[in-house]
Amino acid sequence: MTSTLIWIVVALAAIGLYLSWTAGRLDRLHARIDAARAALDAQLLRRASVAQELATSGVLDPAASMVLYESAHAARQAEEEQREVAESDLSQALRAVFGETEQVGAVQAAPGGEAAARELAQAVRRVPMARRFHNDAVRAARALRRHRTVRWFRLAGHAPFPLAFEMDDAPPTALADRPGT
């Protein structure tokens, strides 16, 4: 009788340890999602700021400046539920303005244009990486939250179900092909 009781206590302790470890893992994944989302927000803000700065610099033609400025401004001011659409619109505006290498060459020829083009190319390149890191963390948390054990014991608590950030983040070809960025 005593040995059976000991085995039951050991089994309950093992189950408790497993549940505690799983809850800790889920908590770490949620923290990773928060950190990745903050990094993504920073990169999106940097891209919009650089695009807005370039649009107001006078280097671009007036039509391109207006398109780029309005898209960048909309991306910076977008509410959370409209953010993906606004950022996708900015990506499309960047591809429209910097789709040709001549436009990038015109920006580089202006005073301070080389640095501005390099900064924009870096910002445009970092957004897909930050989005990929965020979406990978979301994918891992979703996979863990789908396990029966997590659902049955409510190990996720009241944390909202993580959502991926889906947007068009394809870079303009003229900026993506720049050497040394």
Give residue 178's pLDDT. Answer: 54
Write the pLDDT tens digit of every residue in 36-71.
Answer: 999 999 999 999 999 999 999 888 889 999 999 999
Mean pLDDT of 109-128: 91
Give residue 4's pLDDT. Answer: 93
Show the tokens assigned to 10. 């050991």
Give residue 161's pLDDT. Answer: 92
Instruction: Please tell me the pTM assigned to this model.
Output: 0.89
Give residue 174's pLDDT. Answer: 83
How many angstroms separate the CA atoms of 59 and 150, rounded? 55
How many angstroms separate the CA atoms of 46 and 160, rounded? 27
pLDDT band at 100 (very low <50, low <70, confident <90, very high): confident
Show the tokens assigned to 141. 């948390």
Closest to 140 measured CA to CA, from 162, 109, 114, 113: 162
Task: Compute the mean pLDDT over every residue in the chain, rounded to the nearest whole number.
Answer: 92
What are the structural domain ranges in the chain? 23-176
How many angstroms separate the CA atoms of 51 and 102, rounded? 17
Mean pLDDT of 123-148: 96
Mean pLDDT of 99-111: 86
How many angstroms separate the CA atoms of 181 and 178, rounded? 6
